[in-house]
Amino acid sequence: MSQVLKSVPASDKIDTAGAASSEIAQALVHALADTQVLLFKTQAYHWNVEGPLFYPIHTLTEAQYTDLFAAVDDIAERLRALGHLAPFRLKDLTVQACIQDRESLPSAEGMVKDLATDHEAVATRLRGAIDVAEQGGDPVTADLLTTRAMVHEKAAWMLRATAK
Ligand SMILES: [Fe+2]
């Protein structure tokens, strides 16, 4: 059989400053885990929300999960650009996320408050990750994570404002 389909993914040694940092890679994996789990929860609430605020919550969560879906790709591809493999087992992400699954569906108000809390938690962890990237001499990763922190803080504000 041809050799063309036999490449097994492996990490690369990249010469870019900071690229070899396992701390930066771990910070990106945490960001990826948080984003992936929050993506799923946001979409689950988008599907299941009911009540008088169905349409605004359904619409807001659609905008948010669309952003989260794109962010997952950006964060994973940043890992690859730095020479690291991206996670490939879902359980590796769920155990590393700072977001908890709910055992039962909350009310519409509960969904909005839960997502606001989650976005704040992700933004807080991202601030630590930004420090790791900056101290590791990787302003490109720091910039990506800073942009993500801004998005999560804005999302938390919109959700808090909806819940009032
Ligand atoms: Fe939808």
Any idea what the CATH number is for the domain that residue 81 is in? 1.20.1260.10
Considering the domain boundaries, does residue 139 fall inside one?
A: yes
Closest C-alpha among 53, 73, 13 to residue 163: 53
How does the average pLDDT of the chain come out, rounded? 94
pLDDT band for 5, please (50, 70, 90 cuts): confident
Considering the domain boundaries, does residue 141 fall inside one?
A: yes
User: 51 C-alpha vs ligand 1 centroid, how far in Å?
Assistant: 16
Considering the domain boundaries, does residue 78 fall inside one?
A: yes
pLDDT, tens only, 60-71: 999 999 999 999
Considering the domain boundaries, does residue 87 fall inside one?
A: yes
Considering the domain boundaries, does residue 5 fall inside one?
A: no
Structural domain span for residue 137: 22-97+105-163
User: 46 C-alpha vs ligand 1 centroid, how far in Å?
Assistant: 7
pLDDT, tens only, 31-43: 999 999 999 999 9
User: 149 C-alpha vs ligand 1 centroid, how far in Å?
Assistant: 24
Quick one: pLDDT at residue 3? 78
User: 59 C-alpha vs ligand 1 centroid, how far in Å?
Assistant: 8
Q: Is 12 a residue whose pLDDT tops 90?
A: no
User: 85 C-alpha vs ligand 1 centroid, how far in Å?
Assistant: 31
pLDDT band for 107, please (50, 70, 90 cuts): very high
User: 69 C-alpha vs ligand 1 centroid, how far in Å?
Assistant: 13
Count of the separate structural domains present in the chain: 1
User: 38 C-alpha vs ligand 1 centroid, how far in Å?
Assistant: 15
Q: Is 20 a residue whose pLDDT tops 70?
A: no
Considering the domain boundaries, does residue 13 fall inside one?
A: no
Considering the domain boundaries, does residue 4 fall inside one?
A: no
Considering the domain boundaries, does residue 16 fall inside one?
A: no
pTM as predicted: 0.94
